């Protein structure tokens, strides 16, 4: 099994497990929310439903993104992950809007929740499970450069924060007897949803707009070109991310006395050095004859 196939299997396994854990927590929260009448627990269940939809989107996106390049998609299908991340951000913002409306309505009624022990227990369980799952998904996302899994991990991380917020609100209801803390906790959930949803959407939109690779990676590309003994200078380094792939192109200048074959071999040697250091890199190099006095250009 090659590295790409192994990475794909890892991503698919992670997305599948996220779907399973989300489904179990949604069912539990809906049952407890119905038993207690807590708007904050019900809000958390709805939040988790959005996360479940997002997990399904991530599952299909990571599979579609690794489909090999074809005639109609010469750069591959990596942007499936970027589109998935943007849509997931919109889902979070939509859920936040709905939950804000419900919490404001409950503030005016102030109906106290019942059986608070069950509500407190399910929030502790939710926070614990999602802390572990989100951390694992984030590690897999970094290892496989998966925008879809990164967005999914961000969603589950918001579940941790919101579960803790709901837990704090319900604890205040339990100790003070004042039901207002239940909808207030739901409003805290809403604020976090808006913040994370916006950040998730903008991160994916940047990738869709072909934002350059991080400065450190560009500097490393320049360093590899500068250190090559046969390259006199280089310029026009252009980079972008497509899902888990890095697309890099640059111009190099070599001695004008070299044959076409020699220039070709130098370009391929630099390409192999860059691709050897940067996982998922696809490098295109244009060779130009050098002028006397050329210096390295970055």
Q: Which CATH number is 190's domain given?
A: 1.20.1510.10
> Are 193 and 220 in a shared domain?
no
Task: Give yes or no for a contact between 218 and 256, defined as CB atoms under 8 angstroms apart.
Answer: no
Do the domain assignments include residue 295?
no
Residue at a domain's end among 162, 189, 208: 208
Task: Give yes or no for a contact between 246 and 282, defined as CB atoms under 8 angstroms apart.
Answer: yes
> Are 257 and 137 in a shared domain?
no
CATH code, 267: 3.30.70.1350
Do the domain assignments include residue 115?
yes
Residues across the chain: 298
CB atoms near residue 37 (< 10 Å): 17
> Are 7 and 83 in a shared domain?
yes
> Are 235 and 182 in a shared domain?
no
**Separation in Å, CA 103 to CA 14, 44, 96, 106, 161:** 33, 12, 10, 5, 17
Structural domain count of the chain:
2
Q: What is the pLDDT of residue 297?
A: 46
Burial status of residue 239 (CB atoms within 10 A of its CB: 0-12, 13-18, 19 or more)? buried
Do the domain assignments include residue 118?
yes
Do the domain assignments include residue 28?
yes
Place of tokens 């991380």: 157
Helices (H), 37-115: 39-65, 79-109
Instruction: Please give the Cα distance from 54 to 60 (Å, whole number).
Output: 10
Instruction: Please give the Cα distance from 149 to 155 (Å, whole number).
Output: 10
Q: Dihedral through CA 158, CA 163, CA 165, CA 166, nearest 10?
A: 140
> Are 235 and 113 in a shared domain?
no
- Report the Cα–Cα distance between both ends of the chain, in Å, rounded: 38
| Residues lower than pLDDT 50 in the chain | 295-298
3-state secondary structure of 177: coil
Task: Give yes or no for a contact between 267 and 252, defined as CB atoms under 8 angstroms apart.
Answer: yes
Q: Which domain holds residue 158?
A: 3-208
Q: What is the pLDDT of residue 243?
A: 66
**Separation in Å, CA 126 to CA 26, 130, 144, 161:** 9, 6, 26, 10
pTM value? 0.60
Do the domain assignments include residue 294?
no
Which residues on neighbouring strands pair with residue 241, listed in sequence order? 246
Residue at a domain's end among 162, 178, 208: 208
Instruction: Please give the Cα distance from 29 to 189 (Å, whole number).
Output: 15
> Are 283 and 266 in a shared domain?
yes
User: 72 — phi, psi (to 5°)?
Assistant: -85, -15
Q: What is the pLDDT of residue 2?
A: 54
Taking only the tens place, the pLDDT of each residue in 20-76 is 888 888 898 889 888 888 888 887 888 778 777 776 777 777 677 767 777 777 676
> Are 105 and 120 in a shared domain?
yes
Burial status of residue 291 (CB atoms within 10 A of its CB: 0-12, 13-18, 19 or more)? exposed
> Are 96 and 224 in a shared domain?
no
Q: What is the pLDDT of residue 6?
A: 64
Q: What is the pLDDT of residue 298?
A: 45
Which residues on neighbouring strands pair with residue 250, listed in sequence order? 285
3-state secondary structure of 297: coil
């Amino acid at each position: 099994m090659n590295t790409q196939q192994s990475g794909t299997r890892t991503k698919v396994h992670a997305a599948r497990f996220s779907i399973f854990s989300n489904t179990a927590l949604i069912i539990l929260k809906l049952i407890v929310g119905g038993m207690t009448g807590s708007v904050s627990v019900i809000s958390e269940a709805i939040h988790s439903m959005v996360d479940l939809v997002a997990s399904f989107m991530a599952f299909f996106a990571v599979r579609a993104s690794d489909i090999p390049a074809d005639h109609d998609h010469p750069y591959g299908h990596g942007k499936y992950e970027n589109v998935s991340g943007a849509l997931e951000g919109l889902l979070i913002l939509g859920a936040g809007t709905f939950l804000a409306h419900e919490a404001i309505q409950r503030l005016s009624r102030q109906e106290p929740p019942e059986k608070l022990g069950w509500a407190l227990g399910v929030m502790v369980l939710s926070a614990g499970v999602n802390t572990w799952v989100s951390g694992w998904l984030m590690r897999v996302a970094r290892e496989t450069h998966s925008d879809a899994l990164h967005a999914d991990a961000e969603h589950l991380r918001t579940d941790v924060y919101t579960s803790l917020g709901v837990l704090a609100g319900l604890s205040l209801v339990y100790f003070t007897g004042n039901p207002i803390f239940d909808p207030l906790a739901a409003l805290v959930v809403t604020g976090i949803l808006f913040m994370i949803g916006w950040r998730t959407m903008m991160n994916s939109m940047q990738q869709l707009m072909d934002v350059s690779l991080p400065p450190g990676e560009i500097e490393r590309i320049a360093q590899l070109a500068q250190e090559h003994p046969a390259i006199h200078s280089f310029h026009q380094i252009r980079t972008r991310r497509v899902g888990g792939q890095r697309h890099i192109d640059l111009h190099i200048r070599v001695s004008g006395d070299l044959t076409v074959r020699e220039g070709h071999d130098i370009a391929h040697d630099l390409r192999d050095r860059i691709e050897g250091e940067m996982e998922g890199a696809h490098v295109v190099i244009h060779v130009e004859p050098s002028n006397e006095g050329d210096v390295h250009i970055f």
